[in-house]
Each structure stands twice: as structure tokens, then as C-alpha cells.
A and B are shown apart, each in its own frame.
Chain A
Amino acid sequence: MTKRIIFGGVAILLVIAAAYAAFFIAPEERTMGLIQRIFYFHAATAWAGEMTFFVCFVANLLYVWKRQPKYDWLSVSSAEVGLACITVVLITGPIWAHPVWGIWWTWDARLTSTFVLWLLYVSYLLLRTLVEEPDRRAMLSALFGIFAFLDVPLVFFSIRWWRTQHPQPVIMGGSGSGSGLDPTMSKVFFFSVLAMHMLAAFLIVERYILEKMKSELDFLAREVETQ
């Protein structure tokens, strides 16, 4: 319990520090001005979301291979946290886009593939509510989760493969070698990425504990029924 409180506290402090850095340490971008500061939160949350979906994907593969419930618990936990991250991305993106593009949304490759990703993981969680038998639910959702993850590389590479309304990459695949960001902006961005990953990890741990308790409850309920 104490470790969880410390973990949560550190994650929250890092997120607050990242916001402080985004507002007060990162220099102002020349063309966009203040609105560009959304980038540190928006892009860092997107990276954290994609990482949690990767965790979900690995857990799904491990479940199919080993059939151990702990992998099912991890996959549903990371899918929910990833979905929360992508929800934030889909909200903060249009808030940035409206003043910059003059529109809230456009169906370009990046935005559309991200929206499809969100729908896929909503479907993943809905699927779990439709199957009552635990082993069958775990196997079906693991197979669907493996399929759903196929959209994650598509989201990542969409701005590299196609010309999109969404800005082209400034990190990992930007024009020229290395980052296209100012060094201070780059440091603030990677600090934000660290903070959002810590927050996502904390939420996954909390959600995993919940799933484990659900399993214990099911076991005890069966014990009570047999007596």
C-alpha cells in the first residue's frame, strides 16, 4: 500500500513538473506561440498510450501462449489505461487544431487511424462484457487485442508514410538527422514523455489490482455457493 502511494505521488509530481516545464521552461514557438505548449501534453500522452497498447499486445500474446489469468488481467488493465490516454489525445488534438488550422477535425491518415484505434479498444472492452465464461472471455479478447494492436504502427507511421494535415514528425523520423526540435523543447518533451509513462504505469498497477481482486471475489463467491 505504501509503495503504491509513493508510486502515485511520484507520478503526480512528475506530471505537475512536466506541465511547469511546458509552460515556463520550454521556449515559445515562433509561428504558433502559446498554443504549441499543448504539444508537450498531447504528444507525450499519445506515446504513453501507444506504449500501454504495446503492453496489452504482449500480455495478449502471453495469454494465448501460457493461458495464465495474470496476463488477461494485465491486458485489460493496460487496454483501459491506453484508452484513457487516447481519449485525452483525441480531446487535446482538436483544442490545438482549432486555433491553428481553423477547424476542429479533418479525416486525414493520422487523425482517422487514431480514432479507429480508440474504437478498436472500446470494442475490445465491450467484447469482454459480452462473454461470461472467464477462460473464453480471456481467449477471445486476447485474440481481438492482438488484431487491434495492428493499428498502433499504422498510427505511428501515418505521418511518415503519407502527407497529412497533422504536423509531420519532429522526433523520430523528422526531416534531417535527429530531432527537429529546439534542444530545450526536446528536453521538456522527453521529460513529459517520462511523466506520462509513469502516470500510465501507476494507473495500470492500480487497475491490475482491481482485476486481481475481481478474480479473488469470483473464487470466493463460488466457494460460498458450494457450501
Chain B
Amino acid sequence: MKNLDSVFAAYVVGWGVFFVFYLTIAKRISNLRAELDRLKNTLPRAK
């Protein structure tokens, strides 16, 4: 099983990049949704 560590590292790091990228998007969407709700409540005609 020569180079198993390298293959494992490539897949884990690669998936990690995509996972972290997705988490940042999900976090930003969650923050924006909260801010949108707050603003909609501020605007009477948007209620």
C-alpha cells in the first residue's frame, strides 16, 4: 500500500476545501436571512 497516505491526504484535503467553502456559504446565507428578516420588520409595508 505504497503512497496510501498521499492518496488519502489528497482526497481529504480536497473534500475539506469544498466542505469549508460550502460552510462559509451556508453561514453567510444564514446571517443574511437574519438581517433580511430584521429589515423587513423595520419596514411597515414590507410586513
Contact = CB atoms under 8 A, between A and B. Distances in A.
A98 interface: yes
B14 A88 contact: yes
B32 A210 contact: yes
Interface in B1-47: 1-4, 6-7, 9-11, 13-15, 17-18, 21-22, 25-26, 28-29, 32-33, 35-36, 39-40, 42-43, 46
B10 A38 contact: yes
B18 A203 contact: yes
Interface in A115-129: none
Contacts of B29: 206, 209-210, 213
Contacts of A223: 39, 43, 46
Interface string A189-227: 000000000010001001101100110110011011001
Contacts, number: 88
| Consensus secondary structure, chain A interface | helix
Interface stretch (A65-73, A89-97, A135-143): A89-97
Nearest to B14: A88
Contacts of B17: 84, 87-88, 91
Contact of A206 (B6, B7, B26): B26
